[in-house]
Structure 1
């Protein structure tokens, strides 16, 4: 009798332990989705380009995964973010450019997670007008936001914060994590930084960080755009178009240095308080005098601008990296790291002198490609490298998959959960890209295209009908357009066939292109 009782008690104990263990495995993960603005993958040290050091962002890769082929569907701020939220291409979710309105009433993955019991927050930059839907708490920058003493809109109420935007955004995020969320619920936090968006205004402590560094420009910095006529029409050249006063801070009191956007630069300067302005002047006034003394011209001016740009751009990233470290440290200290998915990405890539450019928009690699780093100790092995073609289209279904929440049928992205865990190698063989904001700033023509693991086909249209084909294995910097090369005629035909297949798969068409163009031109009061 005694033995039977012991056996019964032991059986009950095993059942209880099994249930607890099963409950732990089924526990929904928290999600911290970190997005910066215009952060080039070249400027994250985990990608190995040697421009700067980002130890905290690198922690995510070291303790999880780095994605070598992360891409966007549309390389411009607001449309990229709309794709991220909805899991649908721009021509489906309606936000094809920065001018068109975004319909917050449509579904997004945060709304789905709310239904699944998550508490949700959006903090920082979203660059989409209207009160964010799907979030229990929002505290976001209006529009592009300001680097110094920025305004935020907290749950619909606008207020100004004293300090530096990157640190303020981090402080708001940590305050929500520590004090505002319900501790017994799984959470989703979108933690989105303004930096390193133009005009690359560094934090006080990092103003001098790269003063002693001279950067070597990319090999194609003085690109002459042979056989790439659309690229030649750009207005985003560091030498020709980067504004000395607005972009490079050469705001001299005498007004001797020419700047197209001097008024905007003055407004940003005036926004600072006395302490901030004193630190700013101590750093930039000697540079202004040095520039006046040097009076660089031609290639010397191009290289001077490139180095000033790189120093400021990379300095703003250092503050972003600090913020990532603070959030990761909190997750560790609070015992949340094991059950929290952390993703770091950008809304698109950026040119750091490649082809002589800054900005984004083109389907060439540096702006089409975006950094993606991801940590989730329960499923992702440290040091994982993901080489598959992943897009921002895929974030929404992936997060829903991890949360064990049904993925709506109209989502066009795919969950890469099993790809990153190594459970499957079955994945797409091509990705699709669209860009619509033309005529517009930087003069990048409308285009669409596809990329496979090796080749890229681009079609520029509107007031041209130009095709480009690249062999990325032989020509990773995209200097040699092979579209009319007889040696690649079979590849050209295969890529055209794939282009048609992918467009049909996602529901894009020439008719949709025309409708989007007409809406865009109407917004700009341009006759079609």
Structure 2
């Protein structure tokens, strides 16, 4: 039997792919994260099934969609009694640990399960001198949260049984809002302006009303704690928007610089221990993020910047350096992938598919060419309407059913339902809704059929009828 590989899963919070230089970022450099991509594979079409923190994390752990794992919104907690891939690895002889952000509830059945060791932040956690919960015991550590999460991860790795494989989930809080950098990076970018995105001045014309209704605009919705100050007097609206953007995006990127440094520490440890060749290393984020795109920050929408996840993987035994994979993959696939590498049977209940063949450069016949997305938190926090949709390689069809439907934390204030259709080849920035264009009538019908097929395939049967 081939030796079971170690698994190091590094996940940040709200780190958009277009803020990573291996994805061609215009705004920053991430040399250590790039090491993973350059020595392994970069996925260019990895998507989340629900672009919000807790639901994405629940899907990654359980290998099933949110309507089945029970975490549809930020108000839902994960029932730890259900199967997850750490439990299955643990039963197969893996040493398992999770350090950092958990965000799936705490206490009783909501604590992390399937881990020999867990040391997690309560809720969102703090950037400086954060509290942690270590195997049920509350502790406070002095220092910066990104450094501390890495310190605790390395401490566990040093104490592990070197005769057995390990699976470590290192979950960073950063770069989650309100974007507080450490002292080392506090003045990074002071002397430059970060380029504004092409869609920075989007006016939300030719879109469903949901786009204009969302309250995540850089020009008006950022708070004083987000921009760390009060803008100068006398700024015109366009100047204020740019001032807010520079204040927000620089701190966001400073937080990422700290993550990148700490990714380097973990990679260096694997080299020093002589186990880099035996270890699968993943870097990802729980979803995408708007970096001023469409004039927004935050996520939630099915639009590309929010939907797309960074996903780079290194495993020298099976993955060729500088590989690039364009096939469509989802966060629901991660659990099955890890079990496949560990030679642990994948439960029939898991809804994802192992990415192991794709890592090797082979796309299996019949691989998915469409994906299903659903966001439940109607109007909560940033006023985004509840919606679901289908994305193919060329088209995206979104239905804003715009009702709470009893979802935890959603606001019971229904809005008129609307559709959006985008031709991603002709309109990659999703600025022109062509749903009502007669030229696309047949495509709309085909996409609706595919949407219904996917809903039944993933067993999201109790959706709003259309």
Determine whether 1:37 maps to 2:37.
no
Determine whether 1:85 maps to 2:61.
yes
Q: Is the 8 A contact 1:221 1:354 kept in 2?
A: yes
Question: Distance in 2 between the 1:295 and 1:332 partners?
Answer: 54
> 2:46 maps to which residue?
70
> 1:398 maps to which residue?
337
> 1:216 maps to which residue?
195
Question: Distance in 2 between the 1:295 and 1:417 partners?
Answer: 57
> 1:494 maps to which residue?
446
Question: Which aligned pairs between 1:279-290 and structure 2 lie closer than 5 A?
Answer: none
SS in 2 for 1:327: helix
Question: Which aligned pairs between 1:285-300 and structure 2 lie closer than 5 A?
Answer: 291-292=231-232, 294-300=233-239
- Please give the TM-score of this superposition, normalised by the length of structure 1: 0.83
Question: Distance in 2 between the 1:196 and 1:115 partners?
Answer: 33
Question: Distance in 1 between the 2:234 and 2:137 partners?
Answer: 47
> 1:460 maps to which residue?
400
Structure 1 residue 295, shift from structure 2 partner: 3.8
Structure 2 unmatched runs, 5+: 404-414
Determine whether 1:328 maps to 2:267.
yes
Q: Is the 8 A contact 2:76 2:104 kept in 1?
A: no
SS in 1 for 2:239: helix
Question: Distance in 2 between the 1:76 and 1:334 partners?
Answer: 36
Q: Deviations over 1:64-98 (max 9, x none)?
A: 00000011010000011000000100001000001
Question: Distance in 1 between the 2:463 and 2:436 partners?
Answer: 28
Question: Distance in 1 between the 2:142 and 2:363 partners?
Answer: 49
Question: Distance in 2 between the 1:221 and 1:474 partners?
Answer: 19
Determine whether 1:198 maps to 2:169.
no
Structure 1 residue 296, shift from structure 2 partner: 1.9
Q: Larger % of helix: which? A: 1
Q: Compare CA radii of gyration and give the structure with the larger one.
A: 1
> 2:409 maps to which residue?
none
Structure 1 residue 215, shift from structure 2 partner: 1.9
Structure 1 residue 512, shift from structure 2 partner: 5.1
Q: Deviations over 1:183-227 (max 9, x none)?
A: 111000000100000000001010100111212211221111112
> 2:154 maps to which residue?
174
Structure 1 residue 297, shift from structure 2 partner: 3.0
State the superposition RMSD in angstroms. 1.1
CA distance 1:150–1:513, shift in 2 (3 Å)? farther
SS in 2 for 1:442: helix
Q: Deviations over 1:281-336 (max 9, x none)?
A: xxxxxxxxxx44x5423110001101111110000000000110000000011011
Q: How many residues align?
A: 447
1:149 paired residue among 115, 124, 129:
129
1:359 paired residue among 298, 308, 324:
298
Structure 1 residue 369, shift from structure 2 partner: 0.4
> 1:485 maps to which residue?
437
Find runs of 4+ consecutive structure 1 residues off by over 6 angstroms.
Answer: none
Q: Deviations over 1:29-50 (max 9, x none)?
A: 0000000000010100000122
> 1:17 maps to which residue?
none
Structure 1 residue 423, shift from structure 2 partner: 3.2
Question: Distance in 1 between the 2:416 and 2:343 partners?
Answer: 47
Question: Distance in 1 between the 2:178 and 2:430 partners?
Answer: 27
> 1:225 maps to which residue?
204
2:370 paired residue among 406, 414, 430:
430
Q: Is the 8 A contact 1:91 1:512 kept in 2?
A: no
Question: Distance in 1 between the 2:192 and 2:256 partners?
Answer: 16
> 1:421 maps to which residue?
360
Question: Distance in 2 between the 1:213 and 1:397 partners?
Answer: 44
Structure 1 unmatched runs, 5+: 1-22, 251-256, 258-290, 515-528
Determine whether 1:187 maps to 2:186.
no
Structure 1 residue 491, shift from structure 2 partner: 1.2
Question: Distance in 1 between the 2:225 and 2:248 partners?
Answer: 11
Q: Deviations over 1:451-501 (max 9, x none)?
A: 111111101012221111111111110001110111111111111111011
